[in-house]
Amino acid sequence: MVRIRPFRAFRPAEDVVDQVAALPYDVMTSDEARVMVKDKPLSFLHIDRGEISLPEGTDPHAPEVYEKAKEVLEKHIADGVFIQEETPRFYVYRLTMDGRTQTGLVCCASTIDYDAGVIKKHELTRADKEEDRVRHVDTLDANTGPIFLACRLSEKFAALLDKTVSGKTLYDFTAEDGARHEVWLVDEEENANVISIFDGMDALYIADGHHRCASAARVGKLRREQNPGGAEDEEYNFFLCVVFPEEQLKILDYNRVVTDLNGLTQDEFLDKLRENFAVDLHEGEGPSRPGGKHQFGMYLGGAWYLLTAKPGVVDDGDPVARLDVSVLQDLVLAPILGIADPRTDERIDFIGGIRGLSELKRRVNLDMEVAFAMYATSMEDLFDIADAGLIMPPKSTWFEPKLRSGLFIHKLK
């Protein structure tokens, strides 16, 4: 049983929605955000990253940063930049990029379900990042960035989405990266049906937004402690999310580049790789893209190679060990290149598949020694690991297009 509910969203007025909508706060640095909001006073980054409205050099975690974000949000509400829905509603949100479309439901899900494992995770979170969003949510008394959830195939859910998108759009705009964003209001008469559809599901899965989800749950727990005897249906026990059916989603590759060969020559490195991989020089033009699981493209010394794991070196019975990010870590990065913890080792960097394999070549030619092109993790892998209560290695999944922040705000009271 999954608990969701409609909510009285604060959302942008239709004539400014494209000026408000912004990428998630955690896909750029403070300096990059300052550049992105130049001549964009309504950008939601002023709320998600309050420090960019304060002098350069301001500590992003200083108390005045969260107060500034609250000040901007309240001013935008007062000025009519954001309007509040008159009644609790569900929304359908569609994103289209590079000819591929994904359509999901905007709703509020239960933090209590998250605590109970009904909303399942597959990544670890960092305490400092959690604390940042806890302070942000608590100070603003609102969830400002939607959490990206996935669910298993449901014909009733698919039918609801199809029915809703046949009507008139509430928003329809194309962002600077070429992604089209469309939003529809779900008919209020469908509210009970929507709730019933999700009541019949066993679980939801976090695709992206683990820190935001953990933070929302912590704020919910904090509010419950502050309000003993409060009901489970209080707004602070729910968080903003968009739920997409699994068949709508595609995980992109999340590639790796490394600064050096850990003291090895290129020939020595290739010899060590051959212990567990067939190593083939790529003969064709362009990059060597892996064609299936346990294959890796590699750019080294001005040439592309294809690495294929030899039979028996991968434990395909282990849902974590069989992930290609694990195979690369366990057979190459740790034992050969000496990168024991990719979360903290400064010798490794990660490049989202949206940037293409040409970015790997560029980085090696610029400041790295070797690059690895990954075969993308599947949604089934994600579900299997989450269902088993296991954790993926860092940087296992990259989802595109990114949900925009600022289209919906969920106030906690």
* Residue 294, beta-bridge partner list: none
Pair 187, 327 in one domain: no
**DSSP per residue, 124-168:** ---HHHHHHHHHHHHHHTEE-S-EEEEE---HHHHHHHHHHTTS-
Please determine, for residue 284, whether its predicted confidence score (pLDDT) is greater than 80.
no
Mean pLDDT, rounded, for 201-217: 96
Under DSSP, the state recorded for 53 is G
**pLDDT value of residue 193:** 97
**130 in a structural domain:** yes
Pair 93, 31 in one domain: yes
Give first-to-last CA distance, the chain, whole Å: 25
Pair 230, 359 in one domain: no
**224 in a structural domain:** yes
Taking the CA of residue 232 as centre, how many other CA atoms within 13 Å lie in the half-sphere pointing to its CB? 9
pLDDT tens-digit series, residues 177-196: 999 999 999 999 999 999 99
The domain of 244 spans 4-250+400-411
Residue 229 CB neighbours (<10 A): 5
The tokens for 324 are: 């290609």
Are 136 and 72 a contacting pair, CB within 8 Å?
Answer: no
Could you give phi then psi for residue 390, rounded to 5 degrees? Answer: -100, 175
Please determine, for residue 285, whether its predicted confidence score (pLDDT) is greater than 80.
no
**118 in a structural domain:** yes
**158 in a structural domain:** yes
Longest dimension (CA), the chain: 69
pLDDT tens-digit series, residues 91-117: 999 999 999 999 999 999 999 999 999
Check which CATH number belongs to the domain holding 340 and give it. Answer: 3.30.1760
Angle at 206 between CA 235 and CA 139, to 5 degrees: 40
pLDDT tens-digit series, residues 63-75: 999 999 999 999 9
**386 in a structural domain:** no
**391 in a structural domain:** no
Beta strand extents in 6-164 (DSSP E only)? 10-12, 82-84, 91-97, 100-110, 119-120, 142-143, 147-151
pTM to 2 decimals? 0.91
Mean pLDDT, rounded, for 8-33: 95
**113 in a structural domain:** yes
Please determine, for residue 343, whether its predicted confidence score (pLDDT) is greater than 90.
no
Pair 238, 325 in one domain: no
* 284 Cβ contact partners less than 8 Å away, ≥ 6 residues apart: none
Pair 185, 302 in one domain: no
**183 in a structural domain:** yes
CA separation for the pair 267, 300 (Å, rounded): 11
Pair 239, 276 in one domain: no
Please determine, for residue 394, whether its predicted confidence score (pLDDT) is greater than 90.
no
Angle at 254 between CA 404 and CA 388, to 5 degrees: 90
CA separation for the pair 242, 220 (Å, rounded): 19
Pair 220, 263 in one domain: no
Please determine, for residue 85, whether its predicted confidence score (pLDDT) is greater than 90.
yes
pLDDT tens-digit series, residues 292-339: 999 999 999 999 999 999 999 999 999 999 999 999 999 999 999 999
Q: How many domains does the chain have?
A: 2
Pair 407, 289 in one domain: no
Confidence band, pLDDT 50/70/90 cuts, at residue 283: confident
pLDDT tens-digit series, residues 218-254: 999 999 999 998 889 999 999 999 999 999 998 999 9
Pair 264, 187 in one domain: no
Pair 32, 145 in one domain: yes
The tokens for 206 are: 């976090």
Pair 343, 304 in one domain: yes
CA separation for the pair 232, 249 (Å, rounded): 31
Pair 321, 185 in one domain: no
Mean pLDDT, rounded, for 109-130: 94
